[in-house]
Amino acid sequence: MRRKYYYTSKRLGSLTIQDYLKLLTNVEEHSRKDDNVTYKARCPLHHNHSNGDRNNSFIISRGNKVDVVYSCMSQGGPKGKCNQKALTNWFIKKFKELKLLTSDFPMGPEWHKKYGRLTDGGLN
C-alpha cells in the first residue's frame, strides 16, 4: 500500500516566497502595495498553454493568511489545466527534488533541527 503525504500550509510554511521565485522563469515585479510585492512569471505548467505562456500569466505574492499565494490567470480556476492543485503538486515535486521538502511524516526531530523549527518539546 502506498502511503499518502499531505502537504498542508504548515508543511509548506517553512518555505518563503524567494524559494518559490527561484523555481520560476521570466519573473518580473508586477505591482507593489505597501511592503508586499506581487510578481508575474511564466506559468510553471506552461505546457498546458496553447502558446507556451509567452505572455506571463502566473501571479505570486505573499498572502495575509498563508505565506505564499499564487494563481495562473490564463488556465487557472477550479476546472482549469493550471488549477491550484496542479500548481501545488508541481511546486511540491520541485521542492522535494531540491530536498527542501521531505516525505517524513510526521516531521521528526531531524527535520525540525535542519529547518530551525525545533522548540525543545522533548525532542532533543
Provide the residue ranges of all domains of the chain, joining segments of one domain with +. Answer: 9-114
What average pLDDT score do residues 34-52 get? Answer: 89
Predicted TM-score (pTM) of the model is 0.71
Rounded Cα–Cα distance for residues 48 and 115 (Å): 34
The Cα-based distances of 16 to 20, 66, 69, 76, 81 in angstroms read 7, 11, 11, 22, 25
- What average pLDDT is seen over the chain? 77
State the pLDDT at residue 110. 64
CB-CB neighbours of 58 under 10 Å: 26
Task: Tell me the per-residue pLDDT of 60-118, one tens digit each, with 9 for 90 and over.
Answer: 998 887 788 899 988 877 788 888 888 988 998 898 888 887 655 455 556 556 655 44
Which long-range CB contacts under 8 A does 105-111 form with residues at least 24 apart?
A: 105/3, 105/5, 105/6, 107/11
State the pLDDT at residue 6. 42
Cell digits for 21?
521565485
More confident residue, 4 or 117: 117
| Percent of the chain whose predicted confidence (pLDDT) is above 70 | 71
What average pLDDT score do residues 19-37 get? Answer: 88
**DSSP conformation letters of 27-94:** -EEEEEETTEEEEEE--TTGGGSTT-SSS--EEEEE-SSSSEEEEETTT-STTSTT-HHHHHHHHHHH
Rounded Cα–Cα distance for residues 75 and 87 (Å): 11
State the pLDDT at residue 121. 47
More confident residue, 54 or 116: 54
Rounded Cα–Cα distance for residues 114 and 87 (Å): 26
